[in-house]
Amino acid sequence: MTAEIIVTLITAALLVVGCLGIIVPVLPGSILIVVGLLVWALTVQAVEGWTVLGIGSALAIAGMAASAVLTGTRLKRRQIPNRSLIYAAAGAVVGLFVIPVVGIFVGFFVGLLLSETARQRDLRAALDSSWAGLKAAGLGIVVEFACALAASTVFVLGALVFFTTA
């Protein structure tokens, strides 16, 4: 096998792991995608590689930015303070180890619920805030995942063009 084929397979694996890392936020998903595209572009040293790197990286970075902005905007609109988000993040980390895969979401919700209950002194309002926080995080994940899939599609198309015209 040539180096280009091996690196293409490694890049494809990085893109899959990156997409999974967005759904289960344990790994830096979009960053893995950009790194994979960069390694592939540096290896193939062709127009296709640089084009894929430019477009794919732009999509991945746009996904990360949109995720952060959408999530942050929705949380601020609900007036959920940063302190509650810190408790939610701590709950997500604990949940990750207690309940594999879905624990990160359960822990996030429970941490946010406990913090909001202590802050608002009203379980119903805390449940509403926690549900809104979970939906905001979910929306961010969906947008970032869609951009990651688009970047992966750009890679697949670029690799097909590279190998069929080489």
Q: Given a cut of 90, is residue 72 above it in pLDDT?
A: no
Tens of pLDDT, residues 109-133:
999 999 999 988 988 989 998 899 8
> Alpha carbon 83 to chain centroid distance?
23
Burial classification of residue 81, based on how many CB atoms lie within 10 Å of its CB (0-12 exposed, 13-18 middle, 19 or more buried) = middle
pLDDT at 1: 61
pLDDT at 139: 92
pLDDT at 33: 97
First to last CA, the chain: 15
Interatomic CA distance for residues 111 and 23, integer angstroms: 19
- The torsion of the CA quartet 75, 77, 79, 80, rounded to 10 degrees, works out to -10
CB 128 within 8 A of CB 109: no
Q: Which amino acid is at 139?
A: L
> Alpha carbon 7 to chain centroid distance?
23
- Tell me which residue has tokens 């913090």: 115
Share of the chain above pLDDT 70, in %: 99
User: What does the domain layout of the chain look like in residue ranges?
Assistant: 3-165
